[in-house]
Structure 1
Amino acid sequence: MRSKPQHSARRSAFTLIEVLVVIGIMALLVTLLVMAIGPSLESAKVSATRVTIAQINEVIQQRIDAINRLDLTSEATRFANASGLSQANASLILRKNLYRQALPQSVKDLGGLDLDTSTASDNSPIYALWQAETPSGPPTSSTTNHLAETECSEVLYYALTKGSRIRVTNNGKSFNIPTLPVESINPRHIKDTDNDQLPEFVDAWERPLRFYRWPTRLVRTGGAPSNTPADIAATDRQQASVLISSLPSFAGTTLVYSSTLSNTLNQDPDDPTGVATLSLYGGSTFTVQIAGGSPTSVTALPFTEANYHTPNTYWTPLLASGGPDEAFGLGDPTSSSGGQNLCTVTVPAEVNDNITNRQQ
């Protein structure tokens, strides 16, 4: 009698061990894939951020050039008569305040000679436009959803894209300045990260960019105690050169401050000889008469480090991203406490991967 062939039982499923092995292999492959493409993705983000920063910087530089070309002779004469300043000092104060309006890093920068938006006679024309952006005016630190860390990027965005005129007082001469076409910027780099109705410039990590108009504390870290600029250490210059590649150099370990201002690091680009700065710096408030204004006069703040920047010190406007670590290691651009708005270095280790408009 023929026996029936024996058939082995069919497997109905994988064993638990086999499933775990497959999962382990897949996890390993995913890990290897991430390790392989991770640096490429990060590099792409760095490159994209550099492109956006370069595009914004182009308009920043155009505004600087436009202000530098202005003949302020007649306007300085009018301002000198209204303030009691000398012609040279009036010219310097005018130029500084035109810079401040054209390149703001905080809301108070739009408040004019007294840095106070409640006295409208010397407010920037840009502030009036911005104030009308929402029925209750622009968001502030007390507004729902607004985050203080976005203020710098918000006000810079608005000024560069919509602010086309600047003037120091409302009875003074207005000057036209270039604007930034919004459509030229990567839309991924324009976001309202705090949902307060005001967009910001952001980097590829969706963190708001920071702007420092006069980053003098990056170079002269000791500031100007007792109104005398501190010496500049070679180590401070080396640290600053991470963010500003083309910084002037000097021999030795220390650049001693001197009224001769022989080194570019000891010079204010607006006043290379230092004559106006030395006569103005550390003074007191002064009254500026504004015919037809409301009010008809304002009390202008003195030229000090807290109100402007460190005297007789090199500066160039700095636009920065915190880079891949999303940390700046720099002072708050909206706070004058301890020179933060002048770009103090707070955490040196966090600065090294920052991306700026002044790196080559």
Structure 2
Amino acid sequence: MSQSKLKHIPDRYQAGFTLIEVLVAVGLIVLLAGLLLATMRGVLGNAKESSTRVTLKKIQEILEQRATEFNIAESNAPASRRQEPCLPVDADSGLKSIVERKRKFREAFPQRYQDLYDAFGNRTRLGQVFDVKYLSKAPSGVDETNLDSAELLYLVVNEGTAHGSEATDSDQFGAQEVTDTDGDSFPEFVDAWGQPLRFYRWPTRLIRPGTPATPATPLSLDSTKASLPAVETEYWLMLGSKTGDINTLSRDQEDPTSAIYRMMGADVASIQSVEFDSTPPDTCSFHTPDTYTAFLVLSGGPDLQIGLYEPDDTANFGHLAQPKVALSDLGNNDDTLSDDITNLQGID
């Protein structure tokens, strides 16, 4: 095309985009990019949640297997002739059997470093395994007393085979599920966000979250249980949808006659001493009496907050999964619990 012909093209064909047109185009691009980013974020979030649930399901299946083997072994074990260290000499034989079983259960499923010792001050079987297979290979200067529940859960899952169950396959958990987040050389289970999972052996404070210092009147008609905090289902249904009815949650399936509760004197101070005995080595404290128990393994989800006190925080009953969130704030001012992912959600 010649220069002379170019000179006769109308100006409206030669002009560029107006400022308004450019701004509109940029705005559309930003809007589309934002929508794409939000979609990708949602997809990634869903993928991480699904991955975490897969990890939790595998852990739950192994814990159930370990617990079944424990129960069979204890049922077939002869009555112990040894004095039960957590009871007086003249204690009822039935009560002795219940307490001994709980003490051994604690040793078989540790969630705090102190649980690696028995009531006689000796290392438990898992404590000895930890010393030989893990502590002996750790760098000098590592403080073993800082073991967290995710590391102890790994120990239970991989080494808790004393009662006949098979050892866990080394390839059952991948590198994204087991790592060392605190650099102490001890492996721990993590969620898909790379955060350590929490393990609660007896999460009874999800069911009776009230403090023994200010107990509420329970729904039970048994007047001897007036010092027990009331059963509340909100936390349990949020984190563990399994067995949410009050009749089930207000009963210790291993102690249906409330023998431990009645033995302790059934007052506020006694309840607190059953939940936690501050006298070293505190191996004779168990959980809130007359309360349902089940393993709880928990991920904080995308907000990385669990909404519970840590499993080793005995001062705040974190070892029994005491919630940080008040019942009045659930779903309103505090959402730290709402996105938690647990091994008990969706299990019938």
TM beyond 0.5: yes
SS at match of 1:207: coil
Distance 1:6 1:147 in 2: 88
The alpha-carbon distance between structure 1 residues 163 and 43, as it changes in their structure 2 partners (threshold 3 A), is: same
Aligned to 2:131: 131
Aligned to 1:198: 186
Please say which of residues 17-26 and 53-62 is displaced more in the overlay: 17-26
Cα deviation digits, residues 20-73 of structure 1 (max 9, x gap): 998776554432211222212111111111111000000111122222223457
The alpha-carbon distance between structure 1 residues 215 and 157, as it changes in their structure 2 partners (threshold 3 A), is: same
Aligned to 1:292: none
The count of corresponding residues between Structure 1 and Structure 2 is: 303
Q: Does 1:61 align with 2:61?
A: no
- Equivalent residue letter for 1:56: I
Q: Which one of the candidate residues 233, 247, 256 is aligned to 1:272?
A: 256
Aligned to 2:314: 336
Q: Does the CA contact (< 8 Å) of 2:300 and 2:340 recur in 1?
A: yes
Q: Which has the higher strand share?
A: 1
SS at match of 1:320: strand
Cα deviation, residue 7, structure 1: 8.0
The alpha-carbon distance between structure 1 residues 358 and 78, as it changes in their structure 2 partners (threshold 3 A), is: same
Distance 1:109 1:68 in 2: 19
Aligned to 1:11: none
Cα deviation, residue 197, structure 1: 0.6
- Equivalent residue letter for 2:135: T
Cα deviation, residue 184, structure 1: 1.3
Cα deviation digits, residues 166-209 of structure 1 (max 9, x gap): xxxxxxxxx44454334112331111111211111111111100
- Equivalent residue letter for 1:275: A
SS at match of 2:62: helix
Distance 1:357 1:224 in 2: 28
- Equivalent residue letter for 2:124: S
Aligned to 1:313: 291
Aligned to 1:357: 343
Map 1:255-266; keep pairs closer than 5 Å.
263-266=247-250
Distance 2:79 2:140 in 1: 34
Q: Does the CA contact (< 8 Å) of 1:111 and 1:127 recur in 2?
A: yes
Distance 1:207 1:309 in 2: 26
Aligned to 1:164: 161
SS at match of 2:79: helix
Aligned to 2:222: none
Gaps of at least 5 residues in structure 2 are 8-15, 216-224, 274-279
Q: Which one of the candidate residues 175, 183, 186 is aligned to 2:174?
A: 186
Distance 2:316 2:110 in 1: 19
Gaps of at least 5 residues in structure 1 are 9-13, 166-174, 251-262, 286-298
Q: Does the CA contact (< 8 Å) of 1:62 and 1:178 recur in 2?
A: no
SS at match of 1:92: helix
- Equivalent residue letter for 1:92: I
Aligned to 2:117: 111
Distance 2:254 2:139 in 1: 32
Distance 1:186 1:136 in 2: 22
Distance 2:164 2:281 in 1: 24
Distance 2:248 2:140 in 1: 40
The alpha-carbon distance between structure 1 residues 75 and 4, as it changes in their structure 2 partners (threshold 3 A), is: closer
The alpha-carbon distance between structure 1 residues 359 and 81, as it changes in their structure 2 partners (threshold 3 A), is: closer
Q: Does 1:323 align with 2:301?
A: yes
Q: Does 1:151 align with 2:148?
A: yes
Distance 1:271 1:241 in 2: 23
Q: Does the CA contact (< 8 Å) of 1:218 and 1:343 recur in 2?
A: yes
Distance 1:184 1:102 in 2: 21
- Normalised TM-score (structure 2): 0.74
